[in-house]
Amino acid sequence: MGKTVLITGAGRGLGKALAAEFTQRGDRVVAHARSAEALREVPHDKALITDLSQPESLTKAVDKAHIDTLDAIVHNAGVAAISAVADLSVDQWQDHMNVNVIAPAELTRLLLPQLRQSRGHVVFVNSGAGLRTGPQWSAYGASKHALRSMADALRVEEQANGVRVTSVYPSHFDTDMQRKVRHAVGSDYDPQRATTPETIAWYIASFVHAPADGVVNEVRIEPPNPLPIKPRD
């Protein structure tokens, strides 16, 4: 029997690839986006429409979506502003924390009863910046470090309830965000040296579909020959 999986940020990039991968495996997809229009070409069975930059809106949105059963959440949505600490505004810091940390925490909290019932799975799509942060990555890196801490705490808290928690750290994969990041720092970009979103989606779906007697707590995924993010000479 297929699973019911909620995917945030499903309108494009990795989120869209995740929706396709889970659908292909026979799962029912609850796709999140900020608008219904963003999901027009995304395979899904149900939609969760809300803006994650306003976590206080999640209770109403979840109630409206009627998510009665749930086997997994994949927290994929995220924002990244590449800028020095000296140039980041309070609004940018708050946006990073709201979208990348607080919204995943609140969405998980709201849906924990369903996840406990199914002995389900929470997957956090983190980043290499969640392990080590360099110049101009302060807001994004801080939010991803916070996300890692939250996942670590949740993993222990929910073990007795059978809820599995996985943090995934993709290194360099082909998305619009990756292109924007490299443009911001003046770095070269070569999609042939990046992992495809479809490959990342395959790994994540495989973790969710893994036998119940094992869990991948953390995993780092990177291409065989990644192109470093550094300014052009």
pLDDT at 184: 62
> In angstroms, rounded to a whole number, what is the distance separating the alpha carbons of residues 30 and 46?
5
| Residue 199: both structure tokens together | 């490959």
123 is a domain residue: yes
228 is a domain residue: no
30 is a domain residue: yes
What percent of the chain is predicted at pLDDT more than 90?
Answer: 76
54 is a domain residue: yes
pLDDT at 38: 97
> In angstroms, rounded to a whole number, what is the distance separating the alpha carbons of residues 167 and 152?
9
Using DSSP's 3-state secondary structure scheme, residue 218 falls into strand
Mean predicted lDDT score pLDDT of the chain: 91
How does pLDDT run across 93-134, given as a tens digit for each residue? 999 999 999 999 999 999 999 999 999 999 999 988 778 888
83 is a domain residue: yes
CATH code of the domain containing 55? 3.40.50.720
Q: Which helix (H) or strand (E) holds 93?
A: helix 90-97
pLDDT at 37: 96
pLDDT at 222: 86
> In angstroms, rounded to a whole number, what is the distance separating the alpha carbons of residues 211 and 184?
42
Using DSSP's 3-state secondary structure scheme, residue 178 falls into helix
Overall average pLDDT of the 148-165 stretch: 97
| Residue 152: both structure tokens together | 């670590």
Q: Could you tell me if residue 211 is left (phi over 0), alpha (psi between -120 and 50 degrees) or otherwise beta?
A: beta
Non-local (6+) Cβ contacts of 136 within 8 A are 82, 83, 84, 184, 185
Domain that holds residue 189: 4-211
> In angstroms, rounded to a whole number, what is the distance separating the alpha carbons of residues 99 and 136?
19
Overall average pLDDT of the 167-187 stretch: 71
pLDDT at 190: 65
222 is a domain residue: no
> In angstroms, rounded to a whole number, what is the distance separating the alpha carbons of residues 61 and 133?
33
For 149-175, letters b (16+ CB in 10 Å) and e give ebbeebbeebeeeebbbbbbbbebbbb
More confident call, 172 vs 20: 20
Instruction: Say yes or no to pLDDT of 2 above 70.
Output: yes
pLDDT at 48: 98
More confident call, 182 vs 222: 222
pLDDT at 136: 83
Specify whether the CB–CB gap between 66 and 60 falls below 8 A.
Answer: no
220 is a domain residue: no
Considering its fold, how many domains does the chain have in total?
1
The packing angle between helices 103-118 and 58-65, to 10°, is 40
Specify whether the CB–CB gap between 164 and 157 falls below 8 A.
Answer: no
Quickly tell me which residue has 């470090």 as its tokens: 145
pLDDT at 187: 64
pLDDT at 226: 64
Least confident interval from 144-158, 184-198, 214-228: 184-198
How does pLDDT run across 35-83, given as a tens digit for each residue? 999 999 999 999 999 999 999 999 999 999 999 999 999 999 999 988 8
17 is a domain residue: yes
Overall average pLDDT of the 159-180 stretch: 83
For the chain, state the CA radius of gyration. Answer: 17
pLDDT at 216: 95
| Residue 19: both structure tokens together | 């929706």
